[in-house]
Chain A
Amino acid sequence: MRKTSKTMKRVYGGLLMAATISLGACNGAPKDGPPPQAVSLDTVGSGMHVTDDSGAIAGKGIFDRMCVGCHSVGGGPRVGPDLAHIGEKRTTEWLKEWMKDPMAMVAKDADAKAVYEKWNKVPMPPQGLTDTQVNQVFAYIAANSGPAKTPVLTMTDTNGLPVNLGAGGSKDGDFGPPQGPEIEAVLTSPPFVPPAPDRDYPAKVIVHLEVLELVKPISDGVDYTFWTFGGTVPGSFVRVRQGDTVEFHLNNHPDNKMPHNIDLHAVTGPGGGAASSFTAPGHSSRFTFKALNPGLFIYHCATAPVGMHIANGMYGLIMVDPPEGLPKVDREFYVGQGDFYTTGKYREKGLQPFDMQKAIDENATYVLFNGAENALVGDNALQAKVGETVRIFFGNGGPNLVSSFHLIGEIFDRVHIEGGSRIQENVQTTLVPSGGSVIVDFHLEVPGTYVLVDHSIFRAFNKGALGLLVVEGEPNLAVYSGKEVDEMYLGDKAGGGPADRDAVIDAAAAAAEGKLTKELQVAAGELLYKGTCSTCHQHKGQGIPDVFPPLAGSDYLLADSKHAIAVVLNGLTGPITVNGNNYNSVMAPLSNLNDDEVAHILTYVNNAWGNKGARVLPAEVKDVRANTPRAPGAAH
């Protein structure tokens, strides 16, 4: 028999696979190896019910002598991986083949090779166990693995994209020690985002983040002393993968006046790092943490008074990608909202100091995206193209206000609610807590300018919470047509229901046959007069004294028929005299009425209420329409 693994000097690694073998499947005493030990259930260690029949007790004996130097069952990774639940990951046949000769397996099986490389290429020698012994070890592992893990739901949306992203909580997020070369983190300034990590193992990532206190414009002609991470508000974007070990350096520039520290919401540990990063100006602090939970997390300074440090702009985002990564999109942007408090009023010029009382009262002077009123407008607007899928990593640094984040003209197709692992779909406006975040994905179909707002809408239009996304590309009229028609709407003045339209319909039918009579015109005109002209000139054509002239017996009307047509089409303003009375009012142009309608109306007024005036034909109206200019803004 081989010596106990504890005395082995060389370190072996590799993967020992076990199938989920039902208890009791293995039978009989081993052919070689130690006889089954007469031990009680307790010595098996799992507390689970184990029968001798399964061979798990014998398996424990073998495991404790030969495997425990490199492997554990439920005790975390050692030289080799933790073998708990291994039967849920690999088939029995695969594991048995591996056990026979691991390195031969590595040479010919891609999965085995990947495992070998992942575990630092430490070879595992063949153990020389019989089939029975192998089964006993497998049984022991199965008995000690604890209950089978509930499979993570793998629902997908209708596009096949997952709706649960990221491996559970922190207990599932420790993927072991960092592997591979150390990585110097790529940090970006807003609105840009670093590329997603492109590896399938946890690594060590080194972050250098600098604190800079500097004066910058917060609005046109208004300056503010910002305290920043990396010189921007929000601060530099940090991106790592779940399970990464992050070595964090916080550098407080010597020109700064204040001490600072950092609390990253991605950190599991006191203060989120703040307890370990308190740094005087001209100094640097370092601490290391493991990113156990996936998600999009705020970071911020936590030096007292914390509210003031945050209000001055000390926040940013750290993204911990789930191990499987996020679905691919065409563009990713970084936007951070914050509320700002100045002693001067909104847009009052000059260098504005921070106002502590307003901050306590939560009476914000500015509510801004990316730290300035013009941060995302004009030349700084975000850009994209029709047909692209865009992702926004959105953080709300606060210090006080919750955001109702909305993109005017678009709907968020996928929303990582609160920056976490569950996806909601088809959301118009999403709530982002102060000190929280959200990730939104949306597909663009129509070109135009889309507006990012906090839908607590006075913040958007009176405090600056507004940004632009300009989308270029071909119009898509089927999805959005733009304005098609702008026409008059008369409401209830348009003259009753379908039955009342008979006279107009009859006149139109007769005109089509060339049989339009004056009587038909008068009938149609009477109908059309109601609700259009009667509003001002009244039902009996009497007008309103000193305001609207009468039509009944009107010398002005009956004097010149062609002039009357022009007045109806083009309107009339200025002083006139009707029947000896002066009027100086405004008649709106009614060129939206067609030739027939104008002709019928005028024929009616010319012959109603005792008037003895001319009949007016549509052709005459057409002639006047063509030969007189329209009023500005009037229809043709």
Chain B
Amino acid sequence: MIAALALLPLFALTTFGPDETNELVAEVMVGPSSFKLMYPAPNEPDTVFVAAFLFDASPVTNAAFLAFVRANPEWRSDRIAPVRADEAYLSQWLSPEELGPPGPHNGPDQPVTRVSWYAAKAYCKALGKRLPTEHEWELAAAADETRVDARQDPEFQGRVLTWYSRPNSAGLPDVGNGVPNKWGARDLHGLVWEWVSDFNNTMVTGDSREKDSPDKTLFCGAGTLAAADGGDYASFMRYAMRSSLAGRFTTRNLGFRCAHTPNTTPRKGLERR
């Protein structure tokens, strides 16, 4: 009887999530490289130069985000200002500072989802980093295992499209399991949509059949007409997804990773911001 009672306190002491110091996440160097834009702006050249940047090798996990929230309780789901996140923010967690028993979306090593752009920005800033820009992210994502720019390859596009058409019923896999691409980054496709700092840069209109020129509205059915490469539906759908978002939105399939410019040192651990 007493022996049984002695076992009870052991359960109360167990905690979830990583420890508070949060070691540095693996990063890879992406670029420098020229990059052919999917959606050049009207007076912009269609190729940009992207300077080298350091890029998280995989998306931010639930465990890492939990450590951030613990250190910065104003980003708890029960304390965050509504203007910074919608009602579904971190709703896959058991409680504002607990992941809960691992399920389809709240496992410690699964990518954190249901985070708003504001929350993602704050996390990166707490580490002395930032969100990648759309050009940076797309440059990194254009690569497959052997090539810097695989976007013209129908097989590559097909793989990406297959993920888009798979249903959501299965849970999310853990991060880091994807095959690294030419830059060494993983899980840019096949895991979650990811925030970028200028996600509403390329304003795909609500009616995807018109873009810029009124003449193009005559051609019903493909906003891709304005796209530099109309055949790259895989990239196109990411632009469409991003333009449906607003800064406070969260979705079940939307996560993020951080980037930073070389020669700036990220902080170890998460300081209050």
Answer yes or no: are A and B bound together in one complex: yes
Majority DSSP secondary structure for residues of B touching A = loop
Task: Give bound CA distance, A276 to B88, whole Å.
Answer: 23
Task: Verify A357–B237 contact, CB threshold 8 A.
Answer: no
> Nearest chain B CB to A225's CB is how many angstroms away?
5
Task: Give bound CA distance, A354 to B220, whole Å.
Answer: 21
Task: Verify B164–A271 contact, CB threshold 8 A.
Answer: no
Identify the closest chain B residue to A254 (Cβ): B252
Task: Verify A277–B206 contact, CB threshold 8 A.
Answer: yes
Chain B, residues 177-217, CB within 8 Å of chain A (1/0): the string is: 00000000000000001000000000011111110000000
Q: Given A215-B167, A259-B244, A275-B206, verify A357-B236 contact (CB < 8 Å).
A: no
User: Is the C-beta of B241 less than 8 angstroms from some C-beta in chain A?
Assistant: yes
Q: Which of B154-188 contact A (CB under 8 A)?
A: 154, 157-158, 161-162, 164-169
Q: Given A353-B165, A354-B161, verify A305-B224 contact (CB < 8 Å).
A: yes
User: Is the C-beta of A312 less than 8 angstroms from some C-beta in chain B?
Assistant: yes
Q: Given A258-B241, A275-B207, A304-B237, verify A214-B222 contact (CB < 8 Å).
A: no
Task: Verify A304–B210 contact, CB threshold 8 A.
Answer: no
* Segment at the interface with B among A24-32, A96-104, A280-288, A552-560: A280-288
Task: Verify A271–B161 contact, CB threshold 8 A.
Answer: no
Task: Verify A278–B244 contact, CB threshold 8 A.
Answer: yes
- Which interface class (under 10, 10 to 19, 20 to 34, 35 or more) fits B? 35 or more
Task: Verify B251–A305 contact, CB threshold 8 A.
Answer: no
Task: Verify B251–A307 contact, CB threshold 8 A.
Answer: no
Identify the closest chain A residue to B209 (Cβ): A302
Taking CB atoms, residues of chain B closer than 8 Å to A307 are 221-222
User: Is the C-beta of B58 less than 8 angstroms from some C-beta in chain A?
Assistant: no
Task: Give bound CA distance, A10 to B162, whole Å.
Answer: 65
Taking CB atoms, residues of chain A closer than 8 Å to B250 are 282
Q: Given A274-B206, A274-B208, verify A282-B161 contact (CB < 8 Å).
A: no
Task: Verify B233–A261 contact, CB threshold 8 A.
Answer: no
User: Is the C-beta of A505 less than 8 angstroms from some C-beta in chain B?
Assistant: no
Task: Give bound CA distance, A343 to B162, whole Å.
Answer: 10
Task: Verify A357–B88 contact, CB threshold 8 A.
Answer: no
Taking CB atoms, residues of chain B closer than 8 Å to A373 are none
User: Is the C-beta of A263 less than 8 angstroms from some C-beta in chain B?
Assistant: yes
Task: Give bound CA distance, A271 to B217, whole Å.
Answer: 9
Task: Verify B249–A213 contact, CB threshold 8 A.
Answer: no
Task: Give bound CA distance, A256 to B252, whole Å.
Answer: 8
User: Is the C-beta of B245 less than 8 angstroms from some C-beta in chain A?
Assistant: yes
> Nearest chain A CB to B156's CB is how many angstroms away?
12
Task: Verify B210–A271 contact, CB threshold 8 A.
Answer: yes
Identify the closest chain A residue to B154 (Cβ): A357
Task: Verify B209–A353 contact, CB threshold 8 A.
Answer: no
Task: Give bound CA distance, A257 to B208, whole Å.
Answer: 17
Taking CB atoms, residues of chain A closer than 8 Å to B158 are 343, 356
Q: Given A258-B164, A275-B205, verify A303-B240 contact (CB < 8 Å).
A: yes
> Nearest chain A CB to B1's CB is how many angstroms away?
48
Total interface residues on A, using CB and 8 Å?
Answer: 37
Task: Give bound CA distance, A94 to B193, whole Å.
Answer: 69
User: Is the C-beta of A372 less than 8 angstroms from some C-beta in chain B?
Assistant: no
> Nearest chain A CB to B21's CB is how many angstroms away?
34
Task: Verify B167–A271 contact, CB threshold 8 A.
Answer: no
User: Is the C-beta of A270 less than 8 angstroms from some C-beta in chain B?
Assistant: yes
Task: Verify B206–A271 contact, CB threshold 8 A.
Answer: yes
- Please tell me which one of the listed residues B86, B154, B193, B209 contacts residue A271 in the complex, with CB atoms under 8 A apart: B209
User: Is the C-beta of B253 less than 8 angstroms from some C-beta in chain A?
Assistant: yes
User: Is the C-beta of B223 less than 8 angstroms from some C-beta in chain A?
Assistant: yes
Identify the closest chain A residue to B246 (Cβ): A280
Q: Given A279-B244, A356-B161, verify A302-B224 contact (CB < 8 Å).
A: no
User: Is the C-beta of A255 less than 8 angstroms from some C-beta in chain B?
Assistant: yes
Task: Give bound CA distance, A13 to B158, whole Å.
Answer: 64
Task: Verify A280–B168 contact, CB threshold 8 A.
Answer: no
Taking CB atoms, residues of chain A closer than 8 Å to B244 are 259, 278-280
Identify the closest chain B residue to A274 (Cβ): B207
Q: Given A281-B253, A306-B221, A356-B233, verify A225-B166 contact (CB < 8 Å).
A: yes
> Nearest chain A CB to B204's CB is how many angstroms away?
7
Q: Which of B76-125 contact A (CB under 8 A)?
A: 86, 88
Taking CB atoms, residues of chain A closer than 8 Å to B207 are 261, 263, 270-271, 274-275, 278, 302
Task: Verify A282–B88 contact, CB threshold 8 A.
Answer: yes
User: Is the C-beta of A471 less than 8 angstroms from some C-beta in chain B?
Assistant: no
Task: Verify A258–B221 contact, CB threshold 8 A.
Answer: no
Taking CB atoms, residues of chain A closer than 8 Å to B208 are 261, 274, 278, 302-304, 306
Taking CB atoms, residues of chain B closer than 8 Å to A303 are 208, 240
> Nearest chain A CB to B253's CB is how many angstroms away?
5
- Please tell me which one of the listed residues A274, A276, A280, A308 contacts residue B209 in the complex, with CB atoms under 8 A apart: A274
Task: Verify A312–B221 contact, CB threshold 8 A.
Answer: no
Task: Verify A304–B224 contact, CB threshold 8 A.
Answer: yes
Task: Give bound CA distance, A354 to B180, whole Å.
Answer: 26
Identify the closest chain B residue to A283 (Cβ): B249
Taking CB atoms, residues of chain A closer than 8 Å to B169 are 215, 255
- Please tell me which one of the listed residues B165, B221, B224, B251 contacts residue A280 in the complex, with CB atoms under 8 A apart: B251
Chain A, residues 256-269, CB within 8 Å of chain B (1/0): the string is: 11110101000000
Identify the closest chain A residue to B240 (Cβ): A304
Identify the closest chain A residue to B211 (Cβ): A304
> Nearest chain A CB to B133's CB is how many angstroms away?
21
Task: Give bound CA distance, A105 to B239, whole Å.
Answer: 64
Taking CB atoms, residues of chain B closer than 8 Å to A306 are 208-209, 220-223
Task: Give bound CA distance, A270 to B205, whole Å.
Answer: 11
Taking CB atoms, residues of chain A closer than 8 Å to B167 are 213-215, 225, 257
Q: Which of A491-530 contact B (CB under 8 A)?
A: none
> Nearest chain B CB to A289's CB is how many angstroms away?
14
Task: Verify B251–A276 contact, CB threshold 8 A.
Answer: no
> Nearest chain B CB to A213's CB is how many angstroms away?
6
Task: Give bound CA distance, A270 to B214, whole Å.
Answer: 12
Point out which of B161, B221, B252 has the most chain A C-beta atoms below 10 A from its C-beta: B221
Taking CB atoms, residues of chain A closer than 8 Å to B223 are 304-306
Task: Verify B252–A255 contact, CB threshold 8 A.
Answer: yes
Task: Verify B88–A304 contact, CB threshold 8 A.
Answer: no
Taking CB atoms, residues of chain A closer than 8 Å to B164 are 257-258
Task: Give bound CA distance, A214 to B251, whole Å.
Answer: 17
> Nearest chain B CB to A398's CB is how many angstroms away?
10
Task: Give bound CA distance, A607 to B154, whole Å.
Answer: 83
Q: Given A258-B241, A261-B206, A304-B223, verify A281-B154 contact (CB < 8 Å).
A: no
Taking CB atoms, residues of chain A closer than 8 Å to B168 are 213, 255-257
Identify the closest chain B residue to A285 (Cβ): B206
> Nearest chain A CB to B269's CB is how many angstroms away?
33
> Nearest chain A CB to B173's CB is how many angstroms away?
15
Task: Verify B206–A305 contact, CB threshold 8 A.
Answer: no
Task: Give bound CA distance, A306 to B208, whole Å.
Answer: 8
Identify the closest chain B residue to A278 (Cβ): B206
Task: Verify A257–B253 contact, CB threshold 8 A.
Answer: yes
Taking CB atoms, residues of chain A closer than 8 Å to B206 are 261, 271, 274-278
> Nearest chain A CB to B89's CB is how many angstroms away?
11
Q: Which of B222-273 contact A (CB under 8 A)?
A: 222-224, 233, 236-237, 240-241, 243-245, 249-253
Q: Sort A-B residue pairs by CB-CB distance and give the 8 closest, nearest first.
A: A271-B207, A278-B206, A259-B244, A304-B208, A274-B207, A275-B207, A304-B223, A280-B244
Q: List 19 A-B contacts (CB under 8 A).
A: A215-B169, A257-B167, A261-B208, A270-B207, A275-B206, A278-B205, A280-B249, A282-B249, A282-B250, A282-B251, A302-B208, A304-B236, A304-B237, A305-B224, A305-B237, A307-B222, A312-B165, A356-B157, A357-B154
Interface residues of chain B, those whose CB is within 8 Å of chain A, are: 86, 88, 154, 157-158, 161-162, 164-169, 193, 204-210, 220-224, 233, 236-237, 240-241, 243-245, 249-253
Given contacts A261-B207, A263-B207, A276-B206, 14 further A-B contacts (CB under 8 A): A215-B169, A225-B167, A258-B237, A259-B243, A270-B210, A271-B209, A275-B207, A278-B206, A279-B244, A304-B208, A304-B237, A305-B224, A308-B161, A356-B157
